[in-house]
Structure 1
């Protein structure tokens, strides 16, 4: 377990804009009704992992409002709620004294997930991550954002934010409403592999007088922008005749937000488009990653209600220079 923690600490060395992802691979041992056992593999972004610890004998509580909740533990300066991931996924986990807890930090909150064990940290290209599509697991489908093949098995990548939002409705972004409105209608390209988040941002941006275009991942967005570039060259028009801003998630299959931004800022035709990156990964410590690829602004997911106002400010600043 010490080796895993050392690897986690070295994650910061992963170069930004190379379209790479490092995941902590872990598993849940499932025991079927017929006594047969199988191992289900999952993954989460290493950047969200604080620590991996042994289970201090936490057990389900009969009086808990949600059966997933196992109680809390004290860790550093945090009181950390612990969630039995197998219960949320609907998996009959084989009980084992060797269960471990993965402590995570994202979206300005700290929580732990009880699983059967961890295997290793593996580096992939985002282009290797396949959107779930028809391969989606029977498990909590909205929480599976992608799949990647490793050695002799598939790893299902989890949307931890969706799980937390499901368990704590008060943390849901669906209640957010913008309070600003642009005097002129602007055009925004919104890029996110989560349909739920895309719709939340679309609704708020359109309420702020934006016309929106929604795409699923960075590769789709880059292809779309390249086509705009061809159209602009043929018609003799600049990029601001077609689009005013790009708003993109960071973690996406095929092409991540960092790499999308890097491509935009290195393209002579596209480079003046303001780009806002958003993610639960955006913290004071990791903000330099977005800055290194030229992002004009970065918004943490808990602050998405500020998106419209920050987009309007950026667009007006850019247009003043054109």
Structure 2
């Protein structure tokens, strides 16, 4: 499957969602889910995997060869703790993010939809704050909803080594960072790592909330904005472009910290003026880059004076 998302212009607050479903049986019917097309390399037919005895997690179905790769396959229904009626022609969504290629088993694929992030409804705070929540947003399509899945959360919980690594060294002076991230688990991890690096952290759940904070005259402006890309209401690309187009905010460094920061998609962040881009979950590199960008801004300000 081609990555059609790269045809979208960065900063327009659009995304393309591939809709897939899990058949929960005649009483419950099909449950619709979606993920960003930019994360999907292709969709293949499942070879009919069965759960492995003694697997590290019940959702792990084993691995299959795919053009020189060994592709681990996870059963989404098992992870989501919902029933799945087996079918002959089930599919595997082959994804690439967090520097990992992973397959996710589902019943079938429906369509690809182009939508606006402003029309993606964030989950209710009571759901969003649950430790096990992996739904980042809801897309309304006429008579039904598509639930957007937080696949990064699944991989992080299955492989703790993804978030491992040395803690960043603390800054000599206290710095202020605005973190914009819709995933609760990732938001807390970034918060903790930057606090350890001597940052005073303010949190926002999406780009619109972050923009409201930045434009609030009663708040002390942050030294840097660190933003995810995929978020309900306003994505990170649109937030970055809006900041850089605003003379009052344009000097504030913006770092995009996302699983969508890849060699193929890095140009999109550059198009909207991002000062830096890092692939999740490189936390130590994130703190170092933030300090470097803040120092560069300070030097430029001193030279201008």
1:21 equivalenced with 2:12 (yes/no): no
TM-aligned CA distance change 1:259 to 1:72, over 3 Å: same
Cα pair 1:178 1:308 within 8 Å, conserved: no
Aligned to 2:254: 275
| SS of structure 2 residue aligned to 1:179 | coil
What's the TM-score, normalizing by structure 2?
A: 0.93
1:162, CA displacement in angstroms? 0.6
Cα pair 2:123 2:137 within 8 Å, conserved: yes
Structure 2: distance between partners of 1:22 and 1:183: 43
Structure 2: distance between partners of 1:289 and 1:91: 36
1:83, CA displacement in angstroms? 0.8
Structure 1: distance between partners of 2:123 and 2:87: 30
Cα pair 1:278 1:300 within 8 Å, conserved: yes
- How many aligned residue pairs are there? 300
Structure 2: distance between partners of 1:100 and 1:127: 30
Q: Hey, which of these two has a bigger chunk of helix by percent?
A: 1
Aligned to 1:204: 193
1:176, CA displacement in angstroms? 4.6
1:48 equivalenced with 2:27 (yes/no): no
Unaligned residue ranges in structure 2 (runs of 5+)? none
1:11, CA displacement in angstroms? 2.4
Aligned to 1:237: none
Structure 2: distance between partners of 1:242 and 1:60: 51
Out of 216, 230, 249, the residue aligned to residue 251 of structure 1 is 230
TM-aligned CA distance change 1:113 to 1:181, over 3 Å: same
1:68-107 correspondence runs (5 A): 68-107=59-98
Out of 158, 163, 167, the residue aligned to residue 154 of structure 2 is 163
Structure 2: distance between partners of 1:303 and 1:140: 22
1:203, CA displacement in angstroms? 1.5
| SS of structure 2 residue aligned to 1:227 | coil
Structure 1: distance between partners of 2:126 and 2:46: 32
Aligned to 1:321: 300
TM-aligned CA distance change 1:213 to 1:135, over 3 Å: closer
Unaligned residue ranges in structure 1 (runs of 5+)? 233-240
TM-aligned CA distance change 1:135 to 1:40, over 3 Å: farther
1:302, CA displacement in angstroms? 2.9
1:291, CA displacement in angstroms? 0.3
Structure 2: distance between partners of 1:131 and 1:17: 20
Structure 1: distance between partners of 2:204 and 2:27: 41
Structure 1: distance between partners of 2:199 and 2:281: 21
Aligned to 1:221: 210
Structure 2: distance between partners of 1:9 and 1:296: 25
1:263, CA displacement in angstroms? 0.4
1:61, CA displacement in angstroms? 2.2
Cα pair 1:126 1:252 within 8 Å, conserved: yes
| SS of structure 2 residue aligned to 1:142 | coil
| SS of structure 1 residue aligned to 2:10 | coil
Cα pair 2:3 2:40 within 8 Å, conserved: no
| SS of structure 2 residue aligned to 1:112 | strand
Structure 1: distance between partners of 2:57 and 2:185: 23
1:48-67 correspondence runs (5 A): 48-67=39-58
